[in-house]
Amino acid sequence: MKFTLRVFKSIDELEEEDASLLASAKRALKNAYAPYSNFKVAAAVLMADGKVVTGTNQENAAFPVGICAEGTALSAVSSLYPDTAIRKIAITVKSGANLADRPVAPCGICRQRILEYEMRFNAGIAIVMMGEVGEVYAVNSVKDLLPLHFSKTDL
């Protein structure tokens, strides 16, 4: 098994599609509802037909009820366009506490959610991650972030 992470010095080094998807995610940050953590997260999903759908974290006074940006985006995509595969997801953050100067990777639950989508359409989903500034990380599949995953093939 081989896991590959590509590291870019900045958004300027990215190919146009990745830079543009990250820009969509950055624009969506304003829609995050994160009054409890003050940590805004946005995900921009690029569909196989070129559509872009964004999602942001949506928190709740009952903390575990909150939903991650990736979960919001995937639920929206699956509800609106259930027959369309996802090609790529860009994830970015804005922290109220300090400048996020490194990429943030999806939490474990969201990695599993992305894996389900990959398995459903039998196609890898590239993930591009960036903080507010600094390096960008990219993988071609969530399997690079979730080694020894559990999926429907194990059932």
Q: Active-site residue 70, yes or no?
A: yes
H-helix segments, 11-145: 16-28, 69-80, 108-121
Q: Is 81 in the site for ligand THU (CB under 6 A)?
A: no
Q: Is 70 in the site for ligand THU (CB under 6 A)?
A: yes
**Cα dihedral 130→134→135→137 (10° resolution):** 0
Which range of residues in 21-29, 79-87, 105-113, 130-138 is near ligand THU by CB under 6 A?
105-113
Q: Is 37 in the site for ligand THU (CB under 6 A)?
A: yes
Which range of residues in 13-21, 31-39, 76-84, 146-154 is near ligand THU by CB under 6 A?
31-39
Cα–chain-centroid distance for residue 51?
15
Interaction site with ligand THU (CB under 6 A): 34, 37, 39, 41, 57, 59, 66, 68-70, 106-107, 110
